[in-house]
Amino acid sequence: MTALSLLFMAVFIALITAESSVYFREQFEDGDTWRSRWVESQHKSDYGKFVLSAGKFYGDAEKDKGLQTSQDAHFYALSSRFADFSNKDQPLVIQFTVKHEQSIDCGGGYIKLFPSDLKQEDMHGDSTYNIMFGPDICGPGTKKVHVIFNYKGKNHLINKDIRCKDDEYTHLYTLIVNPDNTYEVKIDNKKAESGSLEEDWDFLPPKKIKDPEAKKPEDWDEREKIDDPDDKKPEDWDKPENIPDPDAKKPDDWDDEMDVEWEPPMVTNPEYKGEWKPRQIDNPAYKGKWVHLEIDNPEYIADNEIYKYDSVGVIGLDLWQVKSGTIFDSFLITNDPKLAEEVGNETWGATKVCFFNYYLSILNNFSLNCNFDKISHFDVFVPLRMLRRR
């Protein structure tokens, strides 16, 4: 094969590798037809019901429709299948929007990505998944973005705390997993966290461990300061902490035989100096803090494919909510982070701008071509009041 042929082949492979693929996209723009694409689990008989709704307020009455939880204090289990793929040698991008318009107090807003062998009718909380990603709120103490990967049969939580949005508006969540074992979490198309899969999860044993053969020498002195051996306690130092009150007088009517022997009450001794301690001096034998020698961990084996899943074929909503009303929309699974960003701007970004501009139009008394068929007085009044304070 000639050098020119090799160059052509390399360019051809690069073009194929760089090609964008959309594995799953759901906008819920065709009414109740979504029910033919999403399957409700029958693992339990009392799962909560999802309904199609744009909620109480929105930027576009049709484009902002999504799956909304409708029953308080229920588990939910719904999933949708797509063509099986592997993210080997390519990025994996998961993106969707979440709107907690019910002022959620405790409940999940995350998705799970499953291998294609999942039995959707039996999906439940213990079903094996590849990735769990999205916001989770429960009281003031838990307001985080979950990023959990299944690696070699075990679920691993991220070691970092990524705070999620806890207001009542729609927010865009994006997870990017790269083939170089790096990741990025974006909220509203802005980076919230990024780093290395190996460093930010406990997938692998540590590279270094303490040498089991290393021992601190018995004469190793870690005391930076010691008692001054020449410092002596003064002879008059020891005084009682409390003494009988010298000003106390036995009452005239006190009868020692009837009332037992009279004793004056105790008071704090003004001459009491507390416990004596010798002054501290630098320790001439101080050698510093002993550091345990580390060696390469024989159990550590590098893995350049932590990021990889051989099978990805189902996306699911498997969660619990105390107060229902969360809306999920704009699902996207692709291998192109740039495409995901553009889709986010064209969907979430467009309706967000339209919604905000609607308030501005009321303040400034000009017309705006946005579809607002269902905005309550409360929904308008509160943001308007906030804008007027600016």
State how far the Cα of 118 lies from the Cα of 114, in Å rounded to an integer.
7
The distance of Cα 101 from the centroid of its chain, to the nearest Å, equals: 20
User: What sign results for the dihedral spanned by CA atoms 301, 160, 307, 12?
Assistant: negative
Q: Determine if residue 318 is labeled as part of a ligand binding site.
A: yes
Query: Residue 27 annotated as binding?
Result: yes
DSSP 3-state of 193: strand
- If we measure between CA atoms, which residue out of 64, 67, 65, 61 comes closest to residue 35? 67
- Report whether 110 belongs to an annotated binding site: yes
SS3 270: coil
Q: Is 112 marked as a binding-site residue?
A: yes
Burial 63-99 (b: 16+ CB within 10 A, else e): bbbbbbbbeeebbbbbbbbbeebebeebbbbbbbbbb
Whether the CA torsion 196, 202, 205, 209 is positive or negative: it is positive
Residue pair 189/349 in contact (Cβ under 8 Å)? The answer is yes
- Cα gap 278→349, rounded to integer Å: 70
- Residue 129 in marked binding region: yes
Q: In 3D, which of 133, 189, 138, 198 has the Cα closest to residue 162?
A: 133
Residues within the annotated binding site? 27, 63, 65, 110, 112, 129, 136, 318, 329
Residues within the annotated binding site for an alpha-D-glucoside? 110, 112, 129, 136, 318
Residues within the annotated binding site for Ca(2+)? 27, 63, 65, 329
